[in-house]
Structure 1
Amino acid sequence: MKKYFYLLISLIILSCNTEDDFIEDKKEDIAIDDILLKNSNPVKLTKAWTTYSSYRGYESYVRKFTVKVANLAYDKTVSIYHQKIDGNWDQIPLAYNQSVDNGQNEIWFGEYSLSGYGVNQVYADAFVVRYDVNGTTYWDNNNGSDYKMSRTEGFFFADSNINVSVDTDFVGLSYSAYDDQNRFNITVDVRNLDPNKEVGVVYSSDGWKTQKYLPLIYRQFWSNGPFYTIQSPNNFGIERWQGYTLLSASDDQLEYAIVYRVNGKEYWDNNYGENYMVNVNSNN
């Protein structure tokens, strides 16, 4: 009789453990389902950049892509599938950049560049985004229309929620021996929501114990090389703003964020709440 009693107790304990394990697995499924619900399409192009320049036979092509994906699993791949001049499609792999939204989403970035004498254009205008995760492939193909950018477009904001974005490729903090000061240069793109607007950068060199404000200046043209310029606003309604200021030579690191004031509203680019950082003689 004792044998049957212990067998019954063991079955009850085993049953409880199995139920607990099932609940834990279910919690993980619910978390992923929640992410999918908040991201009806778990992959989205946020912005892209294209430029071309040529000087005395030396040509340069640049394309850059920023994509936001739902963090559905650790192992994943994100790519741009780009149409080529010959009509075929080519893969441009993107790389992980940062985690955002409390880890629910990730930013992925990639760049293609080709330069030299006698080089030929490789890519046409059309491209889409591909996201492979958990054995499933998700696409952002601009609602079936594909994304299209010519070789001299400048910036395109694919995400309608983006109205201002710093171009970190054109941000720098450099020491000038002539002035014995550091020079802070910054370039920003904004969506042209109204002709009357203000764009500026808020920055600090002491961990926000104090802060300063630098108003930026509208650039009607952006030189991309001799005889090649991007008009501002461009074909996508994006404007380029720039500015610089001289700082103490001891200010060798800055933390900053961008503010765009228009139509009584403020829009910020603060690197998803993390702010941007630039060090002397280096980019972000």
Structure 2
Amino acid sequence: MIDGGEDPLNHYNKIGKDFKFAVKYTKASGEVYWDNNGGNDYCITGGYWGNYSRNILGTSNVTLSNAYLIKGRDSLSGQIVVKDLAYEKDIKVRYSYDNWTTFKETSAKYNFTERNGVEIWSFEDNIPSDAEQVKFAISYTVNGKTYWDNNFNENYTMNLGDSLGFPGLK
């Protein structure tokens, strides 16, 4: 959902048409951030379906695509999008189910590369059956440097039964 409306890519299937856009982030505190790709706007080149490259990172090198905390499965799972900065890389999810008194990490596994060159990685790890809430952040270590997606310094927070789909789109 974008600014309370329908995702414009849901019905975007115009051959030869480009979809240009900027991204607006609104934090719970009311702070607003815009990302217009350095003044160039983002562009998805039309094909049979325009949504093959929905994961566009701009200046970010890592972002959460979706996550699930499924009741009855006792697991936290999801997908992560990274820029392919080098072949050797390490993507992890650091999470806590006791409000960061302790934390665990699980490694993500490579899934595929999208047409726009970004890579999709997946993660899944078991959590205690009595966990009601999980907080987490994502790290991406490549070329000796670590990048974080920690939901704008607020960490991602999920309650049992929650799902996050394209959490950056609001």
TM over 0.5: yes
Deviations 1:179-199 (A, max 9, x none): xx5121121000000000000
Q: Does 1:153 align with 2:53?
A: yes
8 Å Cα contact 1:182/1:252 also seen in 2: no
Higher-RCO chain (CA-CA 8 Å, sequence separation at least 6): 2
Change (3 A) 1:253 1:193: same
* Residue equivalent to 1:214: 106
8 Å Cα contact 1:200/1:215 also seen in 2: yes
Alpha-carbon deviation of 1:154? Answer: 3.7
* Residue equivalent to 1:193: 85
Alpha-carbon deviation of 1:157? Answer: 1.7
Alpha-carbon deviation of 1:246? Answer: 1.7
Alignment RMSD: 3.1
Distance 1:201 1:126 in 2: 32
* Residue equivalent to 1:67: none
Paired AA for residue 193 in structure 1? L
* Residue equivalent to 1:235: 115
Matches within 5 A, 1:127-142: 127-129=20-22, 140=36
Q: Does 1:164 align with 2:62?
A: yes
Alpha-carbon deviation of 1:283? Answer: 1.5
8 Å Cα contact 1:173/1:252 also seen in 2: no
Give unmatched runs, 5+ long, in structure 2. 25-35, 165-170
Distance 2:119 2:57 in 1: 11
Structure number with greater Rg is: 1
Q: Does 1:126 align with 2:19?
A: yes
Q: 1:252 aligns with which of 115, 132, 152?
A: 132
TM value normalised by structure 2: 0.74
Deviations 1:91-116 (A, max 9, x none): xxx428xxxxxxxxxxxx9722546x
Distance 1:129 1:145 in 2: 5
TM value normalised by structure 1: 0.46
Alpha-carbon deviation of 1:173? Answer: 0.6
8 Å Cα contact 1:198/1:262 also seen in 2: yes
Change (3 A) 1:201 1:122: same
* Residue equivalent to 2:141: 261
8 Å Cα contact 1:202/1:256 also seen in 2: yes
Identity fraction in percent: 24
8 Å Cα contact 2:94/2:138 also seen in 1: yes
Secondary structure, aligned partner of 1:156 = coil
Q: 2:3 aligns with which of 85, 95, 119?
A: 95
* Residue equivalent to 1:282: 162
